[in-house]
Structure 1
Amino acid sequence: MDREIVWSRWASDDLVPVAEHISRDSESYAATIVRELVAAARSLRVFAERGRRVPEYDDPAIRELIVRKYRLVYRVHPNRVEVVRIIHGAREMPSSV
């Protein structure tokens, strides 16, 4: 079953500083990372449950994919997947998503 992919405001806002930070060293690498994050999110249309459960949250619907150094955190709904955050792996996860 193909699910709709929806980006939360927070996840969309997370992409900007990721791109800005990386582009200080390489604009092309920043574009590559953003493309990979977007592609990973799109790939969740089918078999969204393949990502691991996020250990910081006690909710089986909240999962993540690791894309290079970033955690693409998403919530699985019956007919859609909501990308909720993009967090650098070295950072603490917010208390709620």
Structure 2
Amino acid sequence: MRIEWSEPAMLDMAALRDYIASDAPARATFFIQRLFDHIDALHTFPELGRVVPEVDVANIRELVFQGYRIIYRLSPQRIDILTVLHGSRDLGNPNNRPWEA
């Protein structure tokens, strides 16, 4: 199954990399690569993630990786990565749902 990245998700990844790199550049590269590897499992197991509880829509799912939530939309032809955010962010707040903008 094909994985597509939304612009907000790409910006999230860049911001996360920059944040980690400000203290540990080598760690940032390692962390981001591991996060991509985690997401790659969706190619084989697209329903690996759980339904996002705050949204409760069957095709809006999430993977969790070391405290970060990877929110994605599952459709028959592809997976859209919608956002990557820290687990402490409140998805109950519609302002934290870039896919609804």
Query: Counterpart in 2 of 1:83?
Result: 81
Identity between Structure 1 and Structure 2 (%): 33
Letter in 2 for 1:76: L
- Number of aligned residue pairs: 95
Runs (4 or more) in structure 1 with deviation over 2 Å come to: none
Query: Counterpart in 2 of 1:19?
Result: 17
CA distance in 1, matches of 2:87, 2:43: 24
CA distance in 2, matches of 1:41, 1:76: 13
Letter in 1 for 2:19: H
TM-score (norm 2): 0.86
Query: Counterpart in 1 of 2:61?
Result: 63
- Show structure 1 runs of 5+ residues with no match: none
**C-alpha RMSD over aligned residues:** 1.2
How far off its partner does 1:58 sit? 2.1
CA distance in 1, matches of 2:49, 2:36: 15
Q: Choose from 43, 50, 65 the match for 1:45.
A: 43
